[in-house]
């Protein structure tokens, strides 16, 4: 039987998805989380259920019936779609995994939406669709020439979404995220990847494991301190961009695309120094070789999101590091029984 209108969050048991669910619950929304739990965690779903009204459906977008059943049985007002594999290096080694999941899985979702008349979607895209930037800060008009199957898979979905708007009137907001950092300020959910590859959690993890050394991937780039520059947007700020995108779809009923970043570039060394400062500990560090596929410098022009969506990056990198550290303490205790 159909129920009240709901927001369907695909990949809601993952890092950015779960923070967005909290934001939408705080906004009074009823949420369905659909997740195959390949990268998401049931403990995250349980934490979300303690916060507000969340229904969890375990399913995989690669099976059309799994996602069709959701629309058959619920009145879904709009979809927010996070589910994707997102590791650049892995995508180069295993493109099939990326295209099957990120592109074919999304096609199943969109076809189910069209079949059941759901016409609004917010899609997690990425600055990786731009490839190696020709200029920074990168705005939405920057040419899109992805250099990895991951970036290509996200760009393909952007193009599919544009075509589905023309053919079926499906309206989409594509949010091109820059790098994401930080965790829920109450440490109820957080960044929990296995293995973890991202900068901030990797620096923080090295403070827990008895002398493990954090590795900087390359200090011979053409940047002021030789390390790569990225734009680290706070995950709770990013979550809020999804709420605003849903409001925009509701009010304007128009497709569009927005960069979501802080417009500030931080080098790997900057981030490392800030981590030492915020947590007040010396962290062991060594310089390792460059990591394949890393762009030298990447940061956003996010003016369009500011003027059109009314979104603004509010939290600082120090805020992100301290919330990520609090979460890392919770996670270490959960996984290893390490009490800090």
Per CB under 6 A, residues contacting ligand UFG are 86, 88, 126-128, 178-179, 197-199, 202, 215-217, 228, 230, 268, 291, 294, 298
Bridge partners for 284 per DSSP: none
Using the minimum distance from each CB to ligand UFG, give the nearer residue, 47 or 155.
155
Residue carrying the six token digits 């995950």: 235
Catalytic hit among 98, 99, 150, 164: 150
Distance CA 85, CA 93 (A): 13
Q: Which is nearer to ligand UFG, 5 or 134 (CB)?
A: 134
CB of 295 to ligand UFG, least distance (A): 7
Contact between 64 and 110 under an 8 Å Cβ cutoff? The reply is: no
CA angle 183, 187, 190 (to 5 degrees): 45
d(CA 255, CA 167): 13
Residue 227 CB, nearest approach to ligand UFG (Å)? 7
Minimum Å gap between C-beta 258 and ligand UFG is 15
Cβ atoms of residues 15 and 66 within 8 Å: no
CB of 230 to ligand UFG, least distance (A): 5
If the CB atoms of residues 197 and 336 are measured against ligand UFG, the closer one turns out to be 197
**CA atoms 218, 221, 223, 224: torsion sign:** positive
In sequence order, the β-bridge partners of residue 173 are 122, 256
Specify the residue, 17 or 59, whose C-beta has the smaller distance to ligand UFG: 17
- Of 124, 78, 115, the closest CA to residue 251 belongs to 78
Closest residue to ligand UFG, based on beta-carbon distance: 228
Do 255 and 165 contact (CB within 8 A), yes or no?
Answer: yes
Comparison of 296 and 329: residue with beta carbon closer to ligand UFG: 296
Q: In whole angstroms, what separates CA 272 from the centre of its chain?
A: 22
Measured from the CB atom, the residue of 66 and 332 that comes closer to ligand UFG is 332
User: Could you tell me the smallest distance in angstroms from the CB atom of residue 199 to ligand UFG?
Assistant: 4
DSSP 3-state of 78 = strand
> Which runs of E-coded beta strand occur in 107-255?
120-126, 171-177, 179-181, 214-217, 229-230, 232-234
Nearest approach, Cβ of residue 262 and ligand UFG (Å): 12
**And the tokens for 174?**
């594509």
Contact 131, 147 (CB under 8 A): yes
**Of 273, 295, 100, which is closest to residue 179 (Cα–Cα)?**
295
Answer yes or no: 299 catalytic: no
- Catalogue the active-site residues: 150
């Amino acid at each position: 039987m159909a129920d009240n209108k709901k927001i369907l969050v695909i990949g809601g048991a993952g890092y950015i998805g779960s923070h967005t669910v909290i934001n939408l619950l705080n906004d009074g929304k009823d949420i369905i989380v659909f997740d195959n739990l390949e990268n998401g965690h049931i403990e995250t779903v349980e934490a979300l259920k303690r916060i507000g009204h969340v229904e969890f459906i375990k399913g995989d977008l690669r099976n059309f019936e799994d996602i069709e059943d959701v629309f058959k049985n619920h009145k879904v007002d709009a979809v927010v779609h996070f589910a994707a594999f997102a590791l650049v290096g892995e995508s180069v080694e295993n493109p099939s995994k990326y295209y099957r999941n990120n592109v074919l899985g999304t096609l199943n979702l969109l076809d189910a939406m069209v079949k059941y008349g759901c016409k609004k979607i917010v899609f997690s895209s990425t600055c990786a669709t731009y490839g190696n930037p020709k200029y920074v800060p990168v705005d939405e008009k920057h040419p899109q020439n992805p250099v990895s199957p991951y970036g290509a898979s996200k760009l393909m979905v952007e193009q599919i979404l544009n075509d589905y708007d023309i053919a079926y009137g499906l309206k989409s907001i594509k949010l091109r995220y820059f790098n994401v950092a930080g965790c829920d300020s109450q440490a109820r959910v957080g960044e929990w990847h296995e293995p973890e590859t991202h900068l901030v959690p990797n620096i923080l993890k090295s403070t827990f494991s008895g002398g493990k050394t954090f590795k900087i991937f390359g200090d011979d780039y053409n940047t002021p301190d030789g390390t790569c520059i990225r734009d680290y947007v706070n995950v709770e700020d990013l979550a809020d961009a999804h709420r605003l995108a849903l409001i925009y779809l509701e009010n304007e009923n128009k497709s569009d695309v927005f960069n979501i970043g802080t417009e500030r570039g931080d080098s790997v060394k900057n981030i490392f120094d800030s981590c030492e400062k915020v947590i007040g500990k010396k962290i062991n560090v060594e310089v390792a070789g460059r990591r394949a596929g890393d762009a030298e410098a990447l940061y956003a022009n996010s003016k369009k999101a500011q003027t059109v969506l009314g979104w603004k990056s509010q939290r600082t990198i120090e805020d992100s590091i301290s919330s990520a550290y609090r979460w890392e303490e919770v996670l270490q205790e959960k996984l290893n029984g390490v009490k800090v």
